[in-house]
Amino acid sequence: MTAHVPTHWRNLLADFPDLQSGTSDTLHDSKRLSADLSYLPKMPLSLGRQSRDTENRYHRIPEEVLALYRLYRPTPLRRARNFEQRINTGARIYYKFEGTNISGSHKLNSAIAQGYYYKKAGVEHVVTGTGAGQWGTAIAYACAHFGLTCTIFMPSVSFRQKPQRKTMMELFGASVYESPSEITDLGRKIRAESPNKLGSLAIATGEALELVGQTNKTQFAVGSGENHVLLHQTIIGEEAKWQLEQLGEWPDIIYACMGAGSNFAGATFPFMRDERGRPRPDCVAAEPMACPKITKGVYAYTETDFSGTTPIAKMMTLGSAYEAPGIHAGGLRYHGTSPFLSSLYQMGMFRGLALPQRQVFDVATDFAKAEGVLPAPESAHAICAAAQELGGKAEPRTCLINISGMGYHDLAGYAAFADGSLDDGILSDDEIAKSLAQLQGAQALV
Binding site for a copy of itself (CB under 8 A): 1, 68, 71-72, 78, 100-102, 104, 108, 141, 144-145, 163-164, 167-168, 170-172, 246, 365, 368-369, 371-374, 408-409, 411-412, 414-415, 418
Q: Whole-angstrom Cα distance, residue 282 to residue 350?
A: 7
Give whichever of 225 and 375 is closer to a copy of itself, judged by the CB atom: 375
Inter-residue contact 327 to 288 (CB < 8 Å): yes
Compute the least distance from the CB of residue 8 to a copy of itself, in Å: 20
Inter-residue contact 150 to 125 (CB < 8 Å): yes
Inter-residue long-range contacts of 412-419, CB under 8 Å, 24+ positions, other chains counted: 412/161, 412/162, 412/328, 413/161, 413/328, 413/361, 413/377, 414/361, 414/364, 414/365, 414/374, 416/328, 417/358, 417/361, 417/362, 417/365, 418/365
Give whichever of 315 and 400 is closer to a copy of itself, judged by the CB atom: 400
Give whichever of 90 and 163 is closer to a copy of itself, judged by the CB atom: 163
Compute the least distance from the CB of residue 370 to a copy of itself, in Å: 9
Compute the least distance from the CB of residue 65 to a copy of itself, in Å: 13
Compute the least distance from the CB of residue 263 to a copy of itself, in Å: 19
What is the dihedral sign for C-alpha 404, 409, 413, 414?
Answer: positive
Q: Whole-angstrom Cα distance, residue 316 to residue 276?
A: 31
CB atoms closer than 10 angstroms to residue 273: 16
Give whichever of 10 and 73 is closer to a copy of itself, judged by the CB atom: 73
Q: Whole-angstrom Cα distance, residue 119 to residue 401?
A: 34
Q: Whole-angstrom Cα distance, residue 192 to residue 118?
A: 35
At 257, give phi and psi (nearest 5°): -80, 160
Compute the least distance from the CB of residue 424 to a copy of itself, in Å: 20
Give whichever of 152 and 344 is closer to a copy of itself, judged by the CB atom: 152
Q: List the alpha helices (DSSP H) in 315-410.
A: 339-346, 357-371, 377-390
Give whichever of 108 and 260 is closer to a copy of itself, judged by the CB atom: 108
Query: How does strand 92-97 pair with strand 77-79?
Result: antiparallel
Compute the least distance from the CB of residue 443 to a copy of itself, in Å: 44
Compute the least distance from the CB of residue 139 to a copy of itself, in Å: 14
Compute the least distance from the CB of residue 412 to a copy of itself, in Å: 8
Compute the least distance from the CB of residue 322 to a copy of itself, in Å: 31
In sequence order, what are the residues at sequence separation of 6 or more whose Cβ sits closer than 8 angstroms to the Cβ of residue 441?
A: none
Give whichever of 171 and 433 is closer to a copy of itself, judged by the CB atom: 171
Q: How far is CA 63 from CA 5, 106, 113, 427, in A?
A: 12, 19, 11, 46
Give whichever of 355 and 374 is closer to a copy of itself, judged by the CB atom: 374
Which residues partner with 150 through β-bridges?
A: 126
Give whichever of 56 and 164 is closer to a copy of itself, judged by the CB atom: 164
Inter-residue contact 250 to 278 (CB < 8 Å): yes
